[in-house]
Amino acid sequence: MLKQIWPAFGMILILTVITGVDYPLAMTGIGKTLFPYQAGGSLIVKDGKVIGSELIAQSFASPKYFHPRPSAAGNGYDATNSSGTNFGPTSKKLVDRVKADTAKLQAENPGTPVPADLVTTSVSGLDPDISPAAPLFQVPRVAAARKLSVDTVRKLVDEQVQGRILGVIDEPHVNVLKLNMALAALQGTAS
């Protein structure tokens, strides 16, 4: 019986080292060598200070900024507690929240249909991107709060739309942090 245990134990040890140490170190090294920006978290730096990541949404509460989709991650956009809500389409709590969010947004922009991604959370709760319809819906609020023309703000949104990769992969989308940075740069403000 000992003849069978030692080879099995040896294989467990060898495979643990290969799959638990060697492979992760190799992939980390390759990632940092070939894709240093992405492997470092796709961090956005302004004036020597990290202000966010292209990959993780942030909360923007001020009416002067475009808002991302709602988050179900921890206390909102909490990368250490990334998750969806597990509420199904028949959940009263989910339906009530979506109705309340929709009513609030309709009051902000009467007569305009509310894009679904402004009232629904993403699976991770951290999605930094929204559909082009979502920031276009918010243009009147942002333009009024910043005392800019609607056309100026709409043009800025149009410039920030990222298309499909190779024309077929992904959907057109807008990164909210990048859009808000462009908005602040447009007025020459850091607020």
Q: What pLDDT band is residue 125 in, cutting at 50, 70 and 90?
A: confident
Predicted local distance difference test score (pLDDT) of residue 191? 46
**Cβ contact 168:49 at 8 Å:** no
Predicted local distance difference test score (pLDDT) of residue 142? 93
Q: Are residues 24 and 55 in the same domain?
A: no
Q: Which residue has the higher pLDDT, 56 or 32?
A: 32
Domain that holds residue 20: 1-40
Q: Are residues 134 and 178 in the same domain?
A: yes
**Cβ contact 156:183 at 8 Å:** yes
For the cut 70, the answer to whether the pLDDT of residue 69 exceeds it is yes
Cα–Cα distance between 161 and 169 in angstroms, integer? 15
**Average pLDDT for 8-27:** 94
**Average pLDDT for 158-176:** 88
**Average pLDDT for 35-48:** 87
For the cut 80, the answer to whether the pLDDT of residue 90 exceeds it is yes
Predicted local distance difference test score (pLDDT) of residue 3? 82
Q: Are residues 9 and 96 in the same domain?
A: no
Q: Are residues 19 and 49 in the same domain?
A: no
Q: What is the domain count for the chain?
A: 2
Q: Are residues 122 and 149 in the same domain?
A: yes
Q: Are residues 25 and 62 in the same domain?
A: no
Nearest to 68 by CA among 55, 51, 82: 55
For the cut 50, the answer to whether the pLDDT of residue 190 exceeds it is no
Q: Are residues 151 and 136 in the same domain?
A: yes
Q: Are residues 6 and 77 in the same domain?
A: no
**Cβ contact 37:55 at 8 Å:** no
Query: Mean pLDDT of all residues in the chain?
Result: 87
Phi, psi angle pair for 111, to nearest 5°? 80, 0
Q: Are residues 83 and 143 in the same domain?
A: yes
Residue listed under structure tokens 């009147």? 140
Q: Are residues 20 and 101 in the same domain?
A: no
Q: Are residues 132 and 180 in the same domain?
A: yes
Q: Are residues 34 and 49 in the same domain?
A: no
